[in-house]
Amino acid sequence: MKASLPAVFFLLVAVCASADEHRLDSANIDPQDAISLQRGARTFVNYCLNCHSANAMRYNRLMDLGLTEQQIKDNLLFTTEKIGDAMSISANRKDQKEWFGVEPPDLSVIARSRSIDWLYTYLRTFYRDEKRSTGWNNLTFPNVAMPHALWQLQGIQTVKTEIEEHGGHKSEHRQLVLETPGSMSSLEYDNLTRDLVNFLSYMAEPEKLKRSQIGILVLLFLLLLLVPAWLLKKEYWKDVH
């Protein structure tokens, strides 16, 4: 028996809703904030580049963010000696798969495959789970293979489950609780993850900001061109009318 189109549609909606049941927080990034992008690049190199590569991104592109070649060499070159090299890692893929169960994905375009808000929420919703082999789980990405690389900064969160009853129907509400504070306050950690997500967004499309600026200039030029074009049209058609 074939399912009707409406039934299939509502089934897909239900599946999507269940897959993304955790509410996403707004990252509210500013792609024009060069200082934020620089801080995000520093966090990415220090914490993410140990396991995740970004082979579509080269270190010398960081000069577009206002960093000098010497600053990049002194502070951000840990996996290579050449500033023109890609952001790759030396870890063996087979070893990574054995350690984590899956190969950590390349993060060059992760901001395009996952939304900005998803990444921001994901980085803030890790919690301690002794049932997992890594000791960590995530509300946004349940049963994720990745451990919490930033736990020393954020601290250790746990999940508290509350049962709410409305009109005879029970619903489960899961809430994160900071059990052990980290070296940063909650606000400082939120700002750090926002900067990191801002850099991930930039890394996915380095030319996006430049294209937007060029687009604005083109629109302004067309608006200015509209005036002489209208006057020229008026001059040509004055005898007709």
Q: What is the pLDDT of residues 157-200, one digit of tens each?
A: 999 988 777 777 777 788 999 999 999 999 999 999 999 999 99
**What per-residue confidence (pLDDT) applies to 77?**
86
Confidence at 95, pLDDT banded by 50, 70, 90: confident
Answer yes or no: is pLDDT of 207 > 80. no
Of residues 184 and 239, more confidence is placed in: 184
**Amino acid letter, 145:** A
Exposure class string for 186-209: b at 16+ Cβ within 10 A, else e: eeebbebbbbbbbbbbbbbeeeee
Average pLDDT for residues 29-47, to the nearest whole number? 94
Domain range 7-206, CATH class: mainly alpha
- What does residue 156 show for φ and ψ, rounded to 5 degrees? -110, 120
- Please name the residue that has the structure tokens 């070159």: 77
Token representation of residue 15: 């599946």
Q: Are 79 and 90 in contact (CB under 8 A)?
A: yes
- How many Cβ atoms sit within 10 Å of the Cβ of residue 149? 16
Secondary structure (DSSP) of 68-130: -HHHHHHHT-SS-S-TTSEE---S-HHHHHHHHSSPPPP-TTHHHHS-HHHHHHHTT-EEE-T
**What per-residue confidence (pLDDT) applies to 21?**
58
pLDDT digits (tens, 9 = 90+) for 62-81: 999 999 999 999 888 876 77
Answer yes or no: is pLDDT of 202 > 50. yes
Confidence at 221, pLDDT banded by 50, 70, 90: confident
Number of C-alpha atoms within 13 angstroms, CB side, residue 58?
9
Question: Residue ranges of the domains in the chain?
Answer: 7-206, 211-241
Residue from 228, 204, 208 nearest 87 by CA: 204
Confidence at 89, pLDDT banded by 50, 70, 90: confident
Q: Output helix, strand, coil percentages for the chain, rounded to the nearest 5.
A: 50, 15, 35
Token representation of residue 75: 């502070």
Answer yes or no: is pLDDT of 128 > 80. yes
Angle at 73 (CA atoms; ends 88, 29), nearest 5 degrees: 70
Answer yes or no: is pLDDT of 16 > 50. no
